[in-house]
A and B are shown apart, each in its own frame.
Chain A
């Protein structure tokens, strides 16, 4: 656990503090994102944790031990550190770069080699990459090497300063996904700095929003930030589309589904048409227990007395409880009837409507 207590940093020659009496706790295995406009002290805060910057006052402790009680280089060898420019050593191969901290710690050759290979595997770097020099890698590959190097000595804590700031948006999204996947397996305590609120929402278990001068405006899980911003600054920083952003954080499993325009087998056509009218659709689905048999348009019912025997179409777009409301919205809108069906395997769970989703947005 990382605990910052009343931490203040004043740089020489300035009166206004860069970080002002900041108190923040990061739990083990948690990803905390520090986000805010430039000048909000987020990078300064990060660098005070591994003492690249010394606080003017206040205390920072890791697992109850005050960091100022340790030799800075000893402290840092136990904390992974990734920066935007990555800072790979150009005169060393990928293998040697990854081996940096284990070498500082005096590991033997065989153990280092084993670890390097393991990390190459973990971070999706091919074995053939290990003997290359950083100048021979793409931006995304360099970033992976940077992460592998930070993880080399298996530190419990990882500090990341705008780690994906220097790569293009497509690679950035991929690297973010990889980090989340890595984190799912490794359960590190991660403090990550970014100026990109979307990145913060995507990566953070909790997000700390800082304003200029190092004031902590709100510290909460992303969903809570978006649902209940503490003040105007936070609301502005989150953007006017924060309701929409929030949809990516809510899973279908988290909300109540509606039955939708469904009828059991044997229903007579008048009854089926009444169900359609209730949902304002021009189609109806036939469900036997929790088994979805398919759907039929209003026209398909002409000349029939009951629903049995009509040609049923299968649902092409099938959502699962694990999909987010953002994905559900996309599916519902593109279905032109503003409704999408949710399945758990073969089991039909219910329908989700655009109307239902929009209730989540404004809530």
Chain B
């Protein structure tokens, strides 16, 4: 056991494992890239309609149900389904199938929580805002979004962390990312490399969590003493299917 820990430490200390196209630095960068791209794309697709429906306070329940169908399909299955199509369309092996799986993973919690967060903004605030002469757009941008911001940011954080964990799958379909260490290590029966890969994925997921926490502290409007984000968050935490 001590030997194993020593081997893992040695692996991390070996500069060879850090540099080059297969090194930790470039693999981490690949991992971050596909995770960020998927999360941002899912946010861009999920948030505007969720905010709009939340503002109107209707239609959302049906939309939430539809969106959550996506969650029923495992990420691994999405990759398997998307792979042949991606190849046929000439889009290559790894990136797009993985992107699709991560996009589908990230979208439902962001949509659901954003819709709920906006729709559950105290109706009295909205009435006061409207009664004072805010336009519907101003009500949304100046009242609903800031008040629901903790819930929205929390939803994005939950999605992002899940995406980072699941992006490990990219390695299965010949793309990069930190999953490479796990898959390749498994293939050559290098347990140290598998373990190190696992540590790196876990570390990146935790770093993502911390980065969002810092962002929330810095940018989410304070109301002093209230933690609306924690109160309102609908439970979207599903057990990670992989990684």
Which A residues are CB-close (under 8 A) to B138?
A: 104
Which B residues are CB-close (under 8 A) to A133?
A: 222-225
Q: Which of A4-12, A24-32, A83-91 contacts B (4 or more CB under 8 A)?
A: A83-91
User: What separation, in Å, do the CA atoms of A134 and B124 have in the docked complex?
Assistant: 14
User: What separation, in Å, do the CA atoms of A133 and B221 have in the docked complex?
Assistant: 11
Question: Do B222 and A104 touch (CB < 8 A)?
Answer: no
Minimum distance in angstroms from B150 CB to a CB of chain A: 10
**A77 with B127: in contact, given A89-B147, A90-B147, A133-B224 (CB under 8 Å)?**
no
User: Is residue B90 contacting chain A, with contact meaning CB distance below 8 A?
Assistant: no
Residues of B within 8 A of A (CB): 122, 124-135, 138, 143, 146-147, 149, 221-226
User: Is residue A322 contacting chain B, with contact meaning CB distance below 8 A?
Assistant: no
13 residue pairs of the A-B complex, CB under 8 angstroms, read A52-B127, A75-B133, A77-B132, A85-B128, A87-B126, A89-B128, A89-B146, A90-B223, A104-B134, A104-B138, A133-B223, A133-B224, A149-B132
**A86 with B133: in contact, given A91-B146, A133-B222, A135-B226 (CB under 8 Å)?**
no
Which B residues are CB-close (under 8 A) to A90?
A: 125, 147, 223, 226
Which residues, 129 to 151 on A, are CB-close (under 8 Å) to B?
Answer: 133-136, 149-150
Partner of A73, one of B122, B134, B149: B134
Which A residues are CB-close (under 8 A) to B147?
A: 89-91
User: Is residue A270 contacting chain B, with contact meaning CB distance below 8 A?
Assistant: no
Which residues, 41 to 96 on A, are CB-close (under 8 Å) to B?
Answer: 50, 52, 73-78, 81, 83, 85-92
User: Is residue A226 contacting chain B, with contact meaning CB distance below 8 A?
Assistant: no
**A76 with B125: in contact, given A89-B147, A90-B147, A135-B226 (CB under 8 Å)?**
no
User: Is residue A329 contacting chain B, with contact meaning CB distance below 8 A?
Assistant: no
Considering residues A73, A91, A150, which has the most beta carbons from chain B within 10 angstroms of its beta carbon? A91
**A87 with B223: in contact, given A73-B134, A73-B135, A104-B138 (CB under 8 Å)?**
no
User: Is residue A100 contacting chain B, with contact meaning CB distance below 8 A?
Assistant: yes
User: What separation, in Å, do the CA atoms of A135 and B146 have in the docked complex?
Assistant: 16
Which B-chain residue is minimally distant from A103 (CB atoms)?
B142
User: What separation, in Å, do the CA atoms of A77 and B125 have in the docked complex?
Assistant: 16
Question: Do A52 and B225 touch (CB < 8 A)?
Answer: no
Question: Do B132 and A83 touch (CB < 8 A)?
Answer: no
User: Is residue A209 contacting chain B, with contact meaning CB distance below 8 A?
Assistant: no
The 7 closest A-B pairs by CB, nearest first: A87-B128, A77-B133, A85-B124, A81-B131, A91-B221, A76-B133, A87-B124
Considering residues A50, A87, A101, A104, which has the most beta carbons from chain B within 10 angstroms of its beta carbon? A87
Which B-chain residue is minimally distant from A100 (CB atoms)?
B132
Partner of B128, one of A73, A74, A81, A104: A81
Which A residues are CB-close (under 8 A) to B224?
A: 133, 135-136
User: What separation, in Å, do the CA atoms of A91 and B222 have in the docked complex?
Assistant: 6
**A73 with B124: in contact, given A104-B138, A136-B224 (CB under 8 Å)?**
no
User: What separation, in Å, do the CA atoms of A150 and B128 have in the docked complex?
Assistant: 10
User: What separation, in Å, do the CA atoms of A100 and B149 have in the docked complex?
Assistant: 20
**A135 with B223: in contact, given A87-B122, A104-B138 (CB under 8 Å)?**
yes
Question: Do A52 and B130 touch (CB < 8 A)?
Answer: yes
Minimum distance in angstroms from A161 CB to a CB of chain B: 9
Minimum distance in angstroms from B29 CB to a CB of chain A: 36
Minimum distance in angstroms from B183 CB to a CB of chain A: 46
User: What separation, in Å, do the CA atoms of A133 and B128 have in the docked complex?
Assistant: 17
User: What separation, in Å, do the CA atoms of A74 and B138 have in the docked complex?
Assistant: 13
Partner of A86, one of B124, B134, B143: B124
Minimum distance in angstroms from B130 CB to a CB of chain A: 6
Minimum distance in angstroms from B172 CB to a CB of chain A: 44
Minimum distance in angstroms from B104 CB to a CB of chain A: 32
**A87 with B146: in contact, given A77-B132, A101-B133 (CB under 8 Å)?**
no
Question: Do A73 and B133 touch (CB < 8 A)?
Answer: yes
User: What separation, in Å, do the CA atoms of A68 and B122 have in the docked complex?
Assistant: 28
Partner of B130, one of A76, A85, A101, A149: A76
Question: Do A91 and B128 touch (CB < 8 A)?
Answer: no
Which A-chain residue is minimally distant from B136 (CB atoms)?
A73
Which B-chain residue is minimally distant from A74 (CB atoms)?
B133
Partner of A135, one of B125, B130, B131, B225: B225
Which B residues are CB-close (under 8 A) to A50?
A: 131
Question: Do B127 and A83 touch (CB < 8 A)?
Answer: yes
Considering residues B130, B138, B225, which has the most beta carbons from chain A within 10 angstroms of its beta carbon? B130
Which B residues are CB-close (under 8 A) to A134?
A: 223
Minimum distance in angstroms from A53 CB to a CB of chain B: 11
Which B-chain residue is minimally distant from A47 (CB atoms)?
B131
Which B residues are CB-close (under 8 A) to A91?
A: 146-147, 149, 221-223
